[in-house]
Structure 1
Amino acid sequence: MKKFWIFLKFEKSYLYMFIISNIVLGALFYTDPTISLKWQTFIYATTLNLLILAGFLLYRFQKNIQIVRQIDEEDHENLSFEGYYYQQHLEDLKKNQIRTINEIQFKQKEYHDFIISWFHEIKTPISVLSLMQQTEFDEKSLGEEIAKIEHYVDQALYYAKLENFHQDYEIVNCNVGRIVKEVVKNNSKAFIAKKIRLHLSLHSTVVQSDSKWLQFIVNQLISNSLKYTSNHGEIIISTEDTVKEKRLIIQDTGIGIDQQDLPRIFNRGFTGKNGRIFTKSTGMGLYLAQELSNKLGHYITCTSEENVFTKFVIHFPKNSDPYLETIKEIP
């Protein structure tokens, strides 16, 4: 019975139409002098109309109950224009919800895979340090292993901050040459250990960026060059200034990148042939560098020839406002 009263609440338009039509009809008979009104006939007609309305409402009620029971079925019937559009809206909401859940699950899986890979990576220098405690070790080796740990920890921290980037950035004028020299200084032991020659051709280049994040990006690219450049190799770092943009170029004489791998090197978790053969890799360094660059209004390109060279270029477009690009991502 409760369902029926709820049903009548939503069928008020039919009741109002019945009442108004009977009032209009009665008024017409009453005011027209040419019509001889017999109240018995009017009451009889009204009663018939009421029975027809009751039958119609009962039919509607039964139909509504039937549709409510079948509402989970894809091909269930709609009783109103409004119901049709509500159904479409609900279907869109379901699709968006499924899409959102899939995206969250995908991100959780990627984060889980990264953490597992990260644990495997960081175990190596920790194990080496443990062995050093038991044997004689030199200060140089100790420093190298600590530097590896710091590098992996930085990667994990920046990866964790990536989703909330807008809460931790400050756009300022950054001296690219100064940042490069600072990164080179931090990696000086690796340059010396592998006897890699360094050529700097840095003009006075100032860009708008976040100095901390930009330093991390440059460090990822230089570390990548150091990792894949053999002993006695060469790394050339230079800057260019064109009409449309400023560029930071990092080129090495390392093992290069396979042409099939080149389009995917900035993908999350991609290690490629080099990562599988020459050294263990989480495949996150270049991904983080590109993602952070994009958030700052910059972008990175790469060209390479296997066993000849690899060249990374950070592009700083002059018509791009990093601040505006970043706040667009704030929900």
Structure 2
Amino acid sequence: MIQKYLIERRSWIILFLFLQFLIIVVSYFDPTIPLMSIVYIVFISMIIFIIFLIIRYNKETNFYKSVETWENNLDLTSISNAESPFEVIIENSVTNQTEWLKQIASHNLMSLEQEKDELLSWIHEVKTPLTAMRLMIDRLDNGTMKSNLIYEWLRIHLLLDQQLHQKRIPFIENDLYIEVTDIKVLITKEIKDLQSWCIQKGIGFDLHTEVKEVLSDAKWLAFIIRQLLTNSIKYSEASDIIIKTYPKNEQTILEVEDFGRGIDPKDLPRIFDKGFTSTAKHQDNAATGMGLYLAKKAAKPLLIKIDVHSKLGVGTTFTLIFPKRNQFLHISGM
């Protein structure tokens, strides 16, 4: 800030130094003016001027220091009060711009809330005819047609479910209810819901649950497992998916292992990024690039860590590492 201040005041400093130099030059060429006295006066003037600069530096830079360290969070309380007329102009301009931005942000937030509510309402409305459609499909006698229709129905159902949870994730902290959850029952239900898709692709499940209960939010945990299962089913064919739960270092581990096409090593760091789809099968229109991203987002407030290990052409293993029980004390009060 000192360097910036000197640069800002360089014209005044140069003018002062020029005048002092001019006085010395005049006294040097004019024998009637005592040179040593003038040099002494100039020396005193320089000292006074330096002291003046130091005092003015602290006084004039307080406002600009506070502006420089301002976090641009629309909170103006951290900015020092303006003193000079120019500082008042800047303060008024920043205040007006901030108030305008607050109004825009408030309007945008209200629009987003309205859009979210309308979309959630639409999703719930769509679920009614979707449920009726499933009942009609179940009454069909043609096995092949019934299987194909159930598969397409399931795709629509999963996309709607994904969209519903995507809109709720920003407010997930308000929706959490941490309780002891029977993870075996939860996994079994998710497998049953995906059964028609698995039959069509010739996929089976091998479930081993050494740990049957975890402390978590059942609804959001089911959503995370659903995304991992659908990802494994989507990229597997005529093979089993192994699901295991076991204890490790006072934590519960859940593994979902498939023997599908695997993930390219260069894609592994990006698979949880929003909208990312495989570079190996980039023309795959069925992939939305949202499932694993949403699973990661939902896992964070649940304090669940998701790891992935994969080998191209061999398969992929997703691992959920649940937190220790005492890690939930600050959000569950248990």
Q: TM-score, normalised to structure 1's length?
A: 0.58
Aligned residue number for residue 240 of structure 1: 246
More RCO (CA 8 Å, sep 6+): 1
Residue 272 of structure 1 deviates from its aligned partner by: 2.4
Relative to 1, partners in 2 of residues 1:294 and 1:84: Cα closer, same or farther, differing over 3 Å? same
CA distance in 2, matches of 1:265, 1:93: 43
Aligned residue pairs, count? 226
Relative to 1, partners in 2 of residues 1:220 and 1:84: Cα closer, same or farther, differing over 3 Å? same
Residue 202 of structure 1 deviates from its aligned partner by: 1.1
The answer to whether the 8 A contact 2:211-2:246 is kept is no
Aligned residue number for residue 167 of structure 2: 160
CA distance in 2, matches of 1:177, 1:154: 21
2:275 corresponds to which of 263, 269, 274: 269
Provide the aligned C-alpha RMSD in A: 3.8
Relative to 1, partners in 2 of residues 1:184 and 1:87: Cα closer, same or farther, differing over 3 Å? same
1:291 corresponds to which of 291, 297, 303: 297
Q: Secondary structure at the match of 1:138?
A: helix
The answer to whether the 8 A contact 1:171-1:323 is kept is no
CA distance in 2, matches of 1:253, 1:188: 18
The answer to whether the 8 A contact 2:82-2:88 is kept is no
Aligned residue number for residue 214 of structure 1: 221
CA distance in 1, matches of 2:222, 2:96: 42
Residue 317 of structure 1 deviates from its aligned partner by: 1.6
Aligned residue number for residue 318 of structure 2: 312
Match of 2:83, as an amino acid?
S
CA distance in 1, matches of 2:326, 2:228: 22
Residue 89 of structure 1 deviates from its aligned partner by: 11
Relative to 1, partners in 2 of residues 1:293 and 1:326: Cα closer, same or farther, differing over 3 Å? farther
Q: Secondary structure at the match of 1:317?
A: coil
**Structure 2 matches for 1:118-133, cutoff 5 A?**
none
Residue 315 of structure 1 deviates from its aligned partner by: 1.0
- Gaps in structure 1 of 5+ consecutive residues: 1-77, 116-121
- 1:75-103 Cα shifts (integer Å, max 9, x gaps): xxx983898699689869979969x96xx
The reply to whether residue 80 of structure 1 matches residue 83 of structure 2 is yes
Aligned residue number for residue 147 of structure 1: 154
1:178 corresponds to which of 156, 180, 185: 185
Match of 2:276, as an amino acid?
F
Q: TM-score, normalised to structure 2's length?
A: 0.58
Match of 2:221, as an amino acid?
L
Relative to 1, partners in 2 of residues 1:79 and 1:284: Cα closer, same or farther, differing over 3 Å? closer
Relative to 1, partners in 2 of residues 1:93 and 1:172: Cα closer, same or farther, differing over 3 Å? farther
The answer to whether the 8 A contact 2:241-2:257 is kept is yes
CA distance in 2, matches of 1:312, 1:89: 55
2:233 corresponds to which of 226, 238, 243: 226
Based on CA coordinates, which of the two structures has the bigger radius of gyration? Answer: 1
Residue 200 of structure 1 deviates from its aligned partner by: 1.2
Aligned residue number for residue 287 of structure 2: 281
2:209 corresponds to which of 180, 191, 202: 202
Q: Secondary structure at the match of 2:273?
A: coil
- 1:265-291 Cα shifts (integer Å, max 9, x gaps): 111111122552445221111111111
Residue 180 of structure 1 deviates from its aligned partner by: 0.9
Q: Secondary structure at the match of 1:272?
A: coil
CA distance in 2, matches of 1:79, 1:210: 51
Aligned residue number for residue 36 of structure 2: none
Residue 192 of structure 1 deviates from its aligned partner by: 1.6
Q: Secondary structure at the match of 2:282?
A: helix
The reply to whether residue 251 of structure 1 matches residue 257 of structure 2 is yes
The answer to whether the 8 A contact 1:217-1:292 is kept is yes
CA distance in 1, matches of 2:298, 2:96: 32
Match of 1:205, as an amino acid?
K
- 1:96-116 Cα shifts (integer Å, max 9, x gaps): 969x96xx89xx8xx99xx9x
Relative to 1, partners in 2 of residues 1:154 and 1:87: Cα closer, same or farther, differing over 3 Å? same
Aligned residue number for residue 49 of structure 1: none
- 1:138-158 Cα shifts (integer Å, max 9, x gaps): 211111111111100001100
Q: Secondary structure at the match of 2:256?
A: strand
CA distance in 1, matches of 2:285, 2:259: 17
Match of 1:187, as an amino acid?
L
